[in-house]
Amino acid sequence: MLTPFKKLWGFVCRIWSSANRPAKHLSIGFLTIGGFVAGVMFWGGFNTALEYTNTEEFCVSCHEMGDNVFVELKPTIHYSNRSGVRATCPDCHVPHNWTDKISRKMQASKEVWGKLFGTINTREKFQAERRRLAGHEWDRLKANNSLECRNCHSTESMDITVQSTRAAEAHQAFLFTGEKTCIDCHKGIAHELPDMTGVEGWE
């Protein structure tokens, strides 16, 4: 008697034995050129889809983002400012480097799970989870030395002579010495803060 497992194993064996044989009817030219064209289409499609998930429009299409964090972002300087440069969601929340980006995107599959099961589908649920969620972002930025901040704000191109005295002094004492990284002081610059009880540097 064949168990379902044996059936499945038989199927896998048949696929492998046909994949392992040279092609009987298709020419080598068709296979190489066809394979190349299919590869281009697959890769192009994959990248286009990936880039689409990296837009503000995509992030805000879920009401969890659109009604909470996006609304909070709007009055802050990263959304509305004198120079007209705007940081969108992925500029800060998705690494720009390809390998880091893919690993972040894989982590984000957990967020799809959260969306499906409504983990934060009300303002109250979101507020209750806010400390944990913010903590993930602080940990990520702490671990990569605030890489997403530094994609725009680099220490090298920062002219502290045009900063206010207190900013210049703080950057000289903590940033240039490497003692602290951006996120250590600049928490809550783009969204409201969670309950900061017990967070280092907050009373």
Partner 1 sequence: MKRFLIHITTTIGLLALASTAAFSDGAATLRQGEPIASEPQAPKITKVENNDVKRVRNYPEQPPTIPHKTRDYEISLNANKCMSCHARTRTGESQAPMVSVTHYMDRDNQVLATVSPRRYFCNQCHVTQVTAPPLVENEFTDVENIIKGE
User: Where does this chain bind partner 1 (CB under 8 A)?
Assistant: 75-77, 164-166, 169-170, 174, 185, 188-189, 192-196, 201-203
Complex with partner 1: residue 47 or 172, whichever CB lies closer: 172
Q: Please state the length of the chain.
A: 203
Q: Do the annotations mark residue 185 as ligand-binding?
A: yes
Complex with partner 1: residue 95 or 141, whichever CB lies closer: 141
Q: Do the annotations mark residue 13 as ligand-binding?
A: no
Closest CA to 94 of 86, 105, 85: 105
Complex with partner 1: residue 93 or 130, whichever CB lies closer: 130
Q: Do the annotations mark residue 149 as ligand-binding?
A: yes
Complex with partner 1: residue 28 or 162, whichever CB lies closer: 162
Q: Do the annotations mark residue 96 as ligand-binding?
A: no
Q: Do the annotations mark residue 93 as ligand-binding?
A: yes
**Two tokens at 150?**
């530094």
Q: What is the smallest separation between the CB atom of 136 and partner 1, expressed in angstroms?
A: 17
Task: Find all residues with CB under 8 Å of 196, minimum gap 6, and list them.
Answer: 187, 202
The one-character DSSP state at 175 is I
On the 0-12 / 13-18 / 19+ scale of CB atoms within 10 A, 75 is exposed
**Two tokens at 138?**
């602080």
Complex with partner 1: residue 91 or 100, whichever CB lies closer: 91
Q: Do the annotations mark residue 182 as ligand-binding?
A: yes
Task: Find all residues with CB under 8 Å of 108, minimum gap 6, and list them.
Answer: none
Q: What is the smallest separation between the CB atom of 169 and partner 1, expressed in angstroms?
A: 7
Q: What is the smallest separation between the CB atom of 138 and partner 1, expressed in angstroms?
A: 13
The one-character DSSP state at 95 is -
The one-character DSSP state at 158 is -
- The rounded distance, in Å, linking the Cα atoms of 148 and 146 is 6
Q: Can you point out the beta strands (E) in 47-167?
A: none
Binding residues: 59, 62, 65, 89, 92-93, 111, 149, 152-153, 182, 185-186, 191
Binding residues for heme: 59, 62, 65, 92-93, 111, 149, 152-153, 182, 185-186, 191
Binding residues for a menaquinol: 89
